[in-house]
Amino acid sequence: MGFLKYLLLPLAIAAHGLAQANEKRPNIIFIFTDDQDLHLGSMDHMPILQKELMAKGTEFTNHYATVALCCPSRASLLRGQAAHNTNITDVTSPGGNYQKFVVAKENEDYLPHWLVGAGYNAEYIGKFMNGYTRATYTNAPKGWTHTDLLVDPFTYQYNNVVMSENGQTPVHYTGFHQLDVIRVKALDRIDKLVDDGKPFYLTIAPSTPHIEDGHKLPTPQTRHKGAAEGLQVSRDGNWNPSDDDTAVKPSWLKEMASMNSSVIDRADAHYRARIAVLQGVDEIIEDVVDKLDKKGILDNTYIIYSSDNGYHLGNHRVAAGKSLPYREDTNMPLVVRGPNVTAGVKSKIPSAHLDFPPTFLEIAGVDPAKFPPILDGRSLLSKWHNPESKIETCPLEDTHEIINVEFWGGAGIESPLQDKPYNMGNNSYKTLRIVGQEHSYLYSKWCTNETELYDTVADPYELNNVAKGNNQEDHTKRLLTRLNALLLATKSCADQTCRNPWKLLQPEEERRGQIVDDAASLTITCLDQAMDSKYDTFFNTSFPDVAFQECRELQDIDNERPYLPENPGLGMKYREPTDNYHTPNVKNTDAVDGNQEDAGGADQRNITLATLMSKAVKLTPGQLGQAG
Ligand SMILES: *[C@@H]1O[C@H](CO)[C@@H](O)[C@H](O)[C@H]1NC(C)=O
Ligand SMILES: *[C@@H]1O[C@H](CO)[C@@H](O)[C@H](O)[C@H]1NC(C)=O
Ligand SMILES: *[C@@H]1O[C@H](CO)[C@@H](O)[C@H](O)[C@H]1NC(C)=O
Ligand SMILES: *[C@@H]1O[C@H](CO)[C@@H](O)[C@H](O)[C@H]1NC(C)=O
Ligand SMILES: *[C@@H]1O[C@H](CO)[C@@H](O)[C@H](O)[C@H]1NC(C)=O
Ligand SMILES: *[C@@H]1O[C@H](CO)[C@@H](O)[C@H](O)[C@H]1NC(C)=O
Ligand SMILES: *[C@@H]1O[C@H](CO)[C@@H](O)[C@H](O)[C@H]1NC(C)=O
């Protein structure tokens, strides 16, 4: 792939110069959970997260996932691209999975390659992407200097821990809980990374608090059982809402019945299980901070805490799950502690997962002019160093007021009690979040062609869909024409048009759908300007409606016409075609028996790597489906 060479060379040169100039580039540790919420209050019950990261760092309350689903969210984050550009849009074939990431050759051009090119060690422990399995483990993700990854289907079995180190034969850690295994391994890697001496990047990614296989609640370490006794999920404004509030929802959501007492009890039990299992993540934070401190590198390390996507438990009547465009599923935890990051403040600066790679590259000292051309996000480092600055929205050039969130396929209902099929189809949508200083909106167009618009300042729980019906206020009508144009631009944006979609929406005839490079020459640079009534005719006559031909489970170009520009790139020049790609599978495997009793007692709080390894057993050829 020609672009790879083009990419790594300048990075390597930049890094070489830097390594000599500055031996003390900061380390980066990214603690990345799975399905953790911001809005259900899980972080309130993590005392170490509060004490070590929030009180000593900044919490960013307007951080968003680009897709509210594990695998697409992770691919978007790791490539620094919107999901329409990675085309990893689901957790299984044909929309996505690890194999698709490999076949598309996205595996050859993403974050770890860039960090290693900049002179960093780059490591990953825990859950990588759905579809890293007994059939695909030998083909370990490229780019990292070390990986130790949970192997499917064991990824979601907290008491049956199977991991593959650098693509070697998967190992079963008998008698331990996943969170103890990952904690001990992470601490060991920090020792080794410090010994190695290069600046480093390390992802620590437990599958916590994801549900276990099927519909089982997550199992906490036994020492944390009962940690959440008596708690129940908060009955927020959009929790099990009224018939009227449900009727204005799009697609399958408007059909949801009110939750009865058994569905509610289950959601509360689920909430308690999530809080209890997250106590093991709090211990990871505690030990990582302590280890960095003992090694004398705590002050020169950025510790970032986030999750792939959020979660709902009863919001909008859906008992459990993710996949929706609403705040619970897309507005993510983000806490940053590190050099020059203000301690103990909350910041409203908007950002999204695809902003992490440019941010990490800037931390690594890579010249922004030499960033990989595939990046759709922007570095947040100056904001992390100045978290209390205002959200500047006009002109937009230096902010992220407009956040693009997408989804393809069905939504899983992760509660066995709600009388619905597990996978609700017709859940493809394109969403815009406008996150401004004065105004904020959620705007979505669904594959059923239904439209949603919430004024999230006046209506933070996203209940009053003002796009529904024909009697909108004049301001709403005018706003809808602007948001339709913006969504038309963001749904196939790339690079600078993701950072600033107004570039495609200039009123001068000759500029329409063209990229205007010179930001200073833009006529319309923000929503406030666009709302001027002198542009009413422009916005209500120049742009076709965003539409879908039908609800499909993958990103089909023709199904999603029209586009702006008419023939979209959709990231295709940075990946290989994946039509009819095949996901390998194993058959006739011997069982791998999980722990006889749940693990994670107080006696395992401080286990060493030697103890862990003394109980490590390689999977047999039979267990790997390789016998006979
Ligand atoms: C932190 O700020 C100081 C003072 O401005 C500067 O010298 C230093 O390079 C900064 N460190 C990082 C990692 O940004
Ligand atoms: C609640 O609804 C579920 C699904 O329809 C049903 O199985 C259950 O029996 C109901 N529980 C009560 C208490 O009505
Ligand atoms: C478009 O905007 C003009 C004002 O410039 C207004 O007169 C007209 O009714 C609008 N048309 C639609 C379809 O909204
Ligand atoms: C959505 O609208 C477009 C354009 O009007 C139309 O062609 C398409 O059939 C509609 N799709 C659905 C799912 O109704
Ligand atoms: C899904 O959307 C299609 C239109 O694309 C519609 O005909 C169908 O009834 C919808 N199904 C459900 C379950 O909502
Ligand atoms: C996305 O992936 C699917 C499945 O491989 C493929 O059919 C589709 O053409 C791809 N879309 C784009 C825009 O590349
Ligand atoms: C674990 O080790 C710490 C010291 O690092 C100690 O304070 C704590 O009591 C130990 N906990 C257990 C359960 O052994």
CB of 449 within 6 A of ligand 4: the answer is yes
Express as a percent the part of the chain with pLDDT over 90.
87
Does 448 sit in the ligand 4 pocket, CB within 6 Å?
yes
> From the CA of 343, how far away is ligand 1's center (Å)?
15
Torsion of CA 112, 116, 118, 124, to 10 degrees: 50
pLDDT by residue (tens digit) across 176-207?
999 999 999 999 999 999 999 999 999 999 99
Q: What is the 3-state secondary structure (H, E, C) of 143-160?
A: CCCEEEEECECHHHCCCC
Pocket test for ligand 2, best of 255, 262, 418 (most atoms within 8 A of CB): 262
Q: Kindly report the average pLDDT of the chain as a whole number.
A: 94
Q: 578 CB less than 6 Å from ligand 6?
A: yes
Residues 6+ apart with CB under 8 A from 522: 395, 502, 503, 506, 516
Higher pLDDT, 66 or 10: 66
What is the structure's pLDDT at 10? 45
What is the structure's pLDDT at 509? 84
Question: Given this model, what pLDDT does residue 391 score?
Answer: 81
Mean pLDDT of 215-231: 96
251 alpha carbon, closest ligand = 5
Give the model's pLDDT for residue 513: 73
**Residue 70 among the catalytic residues:** yes
Q: Judge whether residue 432 has pLDDT over 50.
A: yes
Q: Whose CA is nearest to atom 10 of ligand 1?
A: 340
Reported as a pLDDT band with limits 50, 70 and 90, residue 17 is very low
Q: What is the pLDDT of residue 437?
A: 82
Sequence-separated (6 or more) residues with CB below 8 Å from residue 473? 466
Please tell me the distance from the alpha carbon of residue 108 to that of residue 448, in angstroms, as a whole number.
Answer: 36
- Report, as an integer, the average pLDDT of 394-412: 84
pLDDT for res 520: 81
pLDDT of residue 469: 81
Centroid of ligand 3 to alpha carbon of 595 (angstroms)? 67
pLDDT in tens, 362-388: 999 999 999 999 999 999 999 999 999
Beta strands in 86-170 (DSSP E): 121-126, 146-150, 162-165
According to the model, what pLDDT value does residue 497 have? 93
DSSP notation for 430-481: EEEEEE-SS-EEEEEEETTS-EEEEETTT-TT----TTSSS---HHHHHHHH
Mean pLDDT over 225-249 rounds to: 97
Task: Please determine, for residue 18, whether its predicted confidence score (pLDDT) is greater than 70.
Answer: no
pLDDT at 13 over 70: no
pLDDT band at 591 (very low <50, low <70, confident <90, very high): very high
Give the pLDDT of residue 117. Answer: 98
Question: Which of 145-149, 362-366, 412-416 has the lowest average pLDDT?
Answer: 412-416
Ligand 5 atom having least distance to the Cα of 424: 13
Strand 200-205 to 121-126 pairing: parallel
Nearest protein Cα to ligand 2, atom 11 = 262
- Which residue ranges have their beta carbon within 6 Å of ligand 5? 251-252, 425-426, 448, 550-551
Predicted confidence (pLDDT) at residue 399 exceeds the cutoff of 90 = no
Find the ligand nearest to 365 CA: 1
Q: Whose CA is nearest to atom 11 of ligand 3?
A: 540
User: Is residue 160 predicted with pLDDT exceeding 90?
Assistant: yes
Distance 340 CA to ligand 1 centre (A): 6
Amino acid letter for position 3: F
Cβ–ligand 6 distance for 570 under 6 Å, the answer: yes
Domains and CATH numbers, the chain: 2-582+590-611 (3.40.720.10)
Q: Given a cut of 50, is residue 1 above it in pLDDT? A: no
- pLDDT above 80: residue 299: yes
Kindly report, residue by residue over 465-479, the tens digit of the pLDDT.
999 987 888 999 999
Going by C-alpha positions, the residue among 460, 206, 462 that lies closest to residue 318 is 462
Pocket test for ligand 5, best of 253, 448, 548 (most atoms within 8 A of CB): 448
pLDDT score of 398: 56
**pLDDT tens profile 308-322:** 999 999 999 999 999
Span 433-457, mean pLDDT? 95
Residue 183, CA distances (Å) to 140, 200, 204, 209, 607 in order: 21, 18, 8, 15, 10
Rounded distance from Cα 479 to ligand 3 centre (Å): 12
Statement: residue 122 has pLDDT above 90? yes
